[in-house]
């Protein structure tokens, strides 16, 4: 549905902090994206040498970016920036390692003006790698 170049037209993030490769599904209520881990990502260099594992907080960031693509695709938010306002109920399960593809599923459970709450799950194959309730806000200035 959206490739990396199209995602960068919506999100202000740029490599190395862009953590979404493609959006597979999207509407105003949900989005599904992927991140293909090559092993060249900056965080694998020091986390951990000889046993590279994607840091848990970056799994949450990848989820938030997928939600950000959906939120910032709404016409009134076009060209804006979305930021975290909170993270609740975060759980980290399966590891994400070089060669894995994260499937990032985000569903909005509440939206009011520029504020949103979403539930996100990051999958590696059929295993949950992370899940959380993500709260965010679109900066309207």
Check which CATH number belongs to the domain holding 109 and give it: 3.10.129.10
pLDDT at 60: 98
pTM of structure: 0.97
pLDDT at 65: 98
The total of structural domains in the chain comes to 1
pLDDT of 141 over the 80 cut: no
pLDDT digits (tens, 9 = 90+) for 55-73: 999 999 999 999 999 999 9
pLDDT at 83: 97
pLDDT at 140: 86
Q: Which domain does 92 fall in, by range?
A: 4-139
pLDDT digits (tens, 9 = 90+) for 24-51: 999 989 999 999 999 999 999 999 999 9
Q: Provide the pLDDT confidence category of residue 113 given band limits of 50, 70 and 90.
A: very high
pLDDT at 28: 87
Quick check: is 36 catalytic? Answer: no
Average pLDDT over residues 82-110: 97
In three-state form (DSSP H/G/I as H, E/B as E, the rest C), the secondary structure along the chain is: CECHHHHHHHCCCCCCCCCCCEEEEECCCEEEEEEECCCCCHHHHCCCCCCCCCCHHHHHHHHHHHHHHHHHCCHHHCCCEEEEEEEEEEEECCCCCCCCEEEEEEEEEEEECCEEEEEEEEEECCEEEEEEEEEEEEECC
Q: What does the mean pLDDT of the chain come to?
A: 97
């Amino acid at each position: 549905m959206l490739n990396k170049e199209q995602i960068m037209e919506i999100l202000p993030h740029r490599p190395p902090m862009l953590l979404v490769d493609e959006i597979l599904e999207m509407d105003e209520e949900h989005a599904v994206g992927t991140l293909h881990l090559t092993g060249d990502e900056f965080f694998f260099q020091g986390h951990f040498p000889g046993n590279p594992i994607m840091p848990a907080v970056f799994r949450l960031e990848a989820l938030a970016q997928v939600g950000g693509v959906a939120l910032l695709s709404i016409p009134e938010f076009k060209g804006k920036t979305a930021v975290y306002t909170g993270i609740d109920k975060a759980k980290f399960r399966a590891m994400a390692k070089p060669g894995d593809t994260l499937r990032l599923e985000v569903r909005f459970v509440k939206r009011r003006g520029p504020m949103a709450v979403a539930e996100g799950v990051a999958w590696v194959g059929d295993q949950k790698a992370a899940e959380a309730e993500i709260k965010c806000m679109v900066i309207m200035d």
